[in-house]
Structure 1
Amino acid sequence: MTPLASHRSLRCLARRTLALGAAAFLATAALPAASQSAAWPAKPVRLVVGFAPGGGTDVMARALAQSLSEAMGQTFIVDNKPGVSGTLSASEVSRAAPDGYTFLVAPTSVETVNPLLFKSNLVPTRDLAPVMGIGRMQMYLVARPTLDAKDVKQLLALAKSQPGKLNYASSGPGTPPHLAGELFKQSTGTFITHVPYRGSAPALQDVMASQADFVFDPGIAFPHIKAGKVKLLAVASDRKSPFFPDAPTYADLGIKNASLDIWFGVWAPNKVPAEITERLSREITKALAAPALKERFNSLGAEPVALETAPFRKLLADEGGTLSALIKDRKIVAD
């Protein structure tokens, strides 16, 4: 081989070596992102809850955390960050790294109601990604034991004969029991006075003590209904209650466009890899089917319901449209 040919061969070999080296480098550089998703979770995962320990959202999150920890061999931790009806926790999750180690567990109101009532830089539809729905609570129209009405028909007759005299208690402005009351008034064309309290428990206590006429209760009245300390007049929903199957629903009573269930779900920061959210969704769906977790949810008056991402997004859009119109029409403001 001539010196020139030999030199050309060396140059060709060098180019091939450089090309192979570059390809190997690119392949290696791509590995961490792919392997990160494949190995997830490789460390503890935070489930952020915007309410104090012991409440409904917290109990649901802790039941899920236990099931997921057992199923996935990694710790899932509930981190309570209460404030502004869950807005503070949602904001924190929106700022978290999109690496699959921080998620939000919350009622749908953090997306459908809070932006209309509280000032915040958070825009949930922009800053958070819905993962799935995990369950729902129905509300119950519960009246004081001394109220001169044995059913909703008689309640409406009283309300229409004495506009403004009847009142209903709620857990506070903008809360689901308040919004349920306003939907009821809007649908039935009645004028009933709203009396806000600092929580569902004190609102129910005053109904039991006959200091308020009725309340839209999210499930804490169950033992008092069974003990006869309050009257259950209806399920504030179009669906039958699994806990009180004989109670009439709005659909049974012909009350339209007033149904409001309290839904709960899981959100992620935007841009979490789809492989991670899809795996989490599959594991949550399995957990929600377990009898032990169903029992925990039922103890709150809730039902575990696995709602995949697409139908969960539709639920959020539909609920947001209904409640946005209601809040504007009734001029509802938070404290």
Structure 2
Amino acid sequence: MRPLARCLIAAAAAFAFVSLAGAQTWPVRPIRLVVGFPPGGATDVVARAFAPRLGEALGQSIVIDNRPGAGGNIGLEMVAKSTPDGYTLLKSAAGAIVIGPHLYKLSVDVARDLVPVAPTMLTTLMLVVRPGLPVRSVAELIAYARANPGKLSYGSSGIGSGLHIAGEMLVRAANIQATHVPYKGAVMALNDMLGDRVDFMFDTAPVVPHIKADRLRLLAVARATRSPMFPDTPTMAEAGTDVTVEFVQGVFAPTGTPRAIVARLNREMGRIMQSAEVRAVLTGMGAEPVTASPEEFAALLQRDRERFGAIVRAANIRVE
């Protein structure tokens, strides 16, 4: 065997040994969990629900680091470029994973540079309108939009976000005109809606308390079946406009993270997401816990990436 070949084999073996040793002793210091959205949004709320329990299971604290902007891509790119040692993880909304790559010129390849670790929840998008808008159903919203072409606006957490895609699907399916107003996070959009500056939007957990307090009006849910939290509220399909948008959020790690670490995180996350405490948080948000292996999670994301990529192209959605 040539000396160079022997050196390469020895180096590879040494790297594998070091990686295995590191995985066996991991974690020995706090873990950073990057959240690509502002505090208070659904992605952040879920991260703060499971992070303390994950830290307890691993014997190290989980430090949440909010890095909002560009539809979640700022945090995403940061994690994808980080050292794959299990000490930097990403909690991302599905939009940044399955929609963002079709819109943004990223410095990373999401499918190549991030490893799906574990899903966390299936989100329920709810169509809500500001209280001052004189509509009480999807049909009335569509009729109002047609009677007032171009006067309605809808908010989202950013161009190409899941909330934007849902709004665009409604506009196209109903053949109405409405101005999209993108924000750096759903919380900002929600605040403007509460201030009567945005007319309608699709959103998840943050709207629930406002619906219950009659500060926002819920028209429909964009899921295949009715929400257990709002059983009297129709699905979008039942309301006559089939806009079904179901996203699975999750935790990711940079590619190259030792498999043993990914496997342990997956086991712990599966147990935590099914715990009574976390299930209660999700139920209060109108969401449902999801568990799957890293491979199953990756396959689900790939299917969604293809589906929503087709929608982005058909709607000609672009980041300006």
| Conservation of the 8 A alpha-carbon contact between 1:48 and 1:79 | yes
Matched residue, 1:3: none
CA distance in 2, matches of 1:209, 1:91: 33
Are 1:155 and 2:155 matched, yes or no? Answer: no
Deviations 1:292-313 (A, max 9, x none): 2223344555433223323322
The answer for the alignment partner of 1:291 in structure 2 is 276
SS state at 1:233 partner: strand
2:316 aligned residue: 331
What is the alpha-carbon distance in structure 2 between the residues aligned to residue 29 and residue 130 of structure 1? 23
Q: How many residues align?
A: 308
Instruction: Identify the residue that residue 98 of structure 1 maps to in structure 2.
Output: 84
Which deviates more, 61-70 or 219-228?
Answer: 219-228
**For structure 1, which segment, 167-176 or 112-121, has the greater mean C-alpha deviation from structure 2 after superposition?**
167-176
TM-score, structure 2 normalization: 0.83
Instruction: Name the SS for the 2:214 alignment partner.
Output: coil
Which of 92, 107, 111 is 1:125 aligned to? 111
CA–CA distance in 1 between the matches of 2:173 and 2:312?
Answer: 14
Q: Distance in 1 between matches of 2:105 and 2:16?
A: 41
Alignment correspondent of 2:169: 183
Instruction: Name structure 2 gaps, 5 residues minimum.
Output: 1-12
1:43-122 equivalence runs, <5 A = 43-122=29-108
CA-atom RMSD, angstroms? 2.9
Q: Which has the larger radius of gyration?
A: 1
Shift of the 110–145 alpha-carbon distance from structure 1 to 2, 3 Å rule, reads: closer
SS in structure 2 at match of 1:96? coil
Any idea what SS the aligned residue of 1:322 has?
A: helix
The equivalent residue for 1:169 is: 155
CA contact (8 A) 2:31 2:88 kept: yes
Distance in 1 (alpha carbons) for counterparts of 2:318 and 2:16: 50
Task: Give the TM-score normalised by structure 1.
Answer: 0.80
For residues 208 and 307 of structure 1, do their structure 2 counterparts lie closer, same or farther at Cα, with a shift above 3 Å needed?
same
CA distance in 2, matches of 1:39, 1:322: 40
**Is the contact between residue 41 and residue 206 of structure 2 (CA under 8 Å) also seen in structure 1?**
no
Question: Do the aligned partners of residues 147 and 311 (structure 1) sit closer, same or farther apart at CA in structure 2, a change above 3 Å counting?
Answer: same
Distance 1:216 1:80, change over 3 A: closer
Amino-acid identity (%): 37
Alpha carbons 2:37, 2:44 under 8 Å: kept: yes
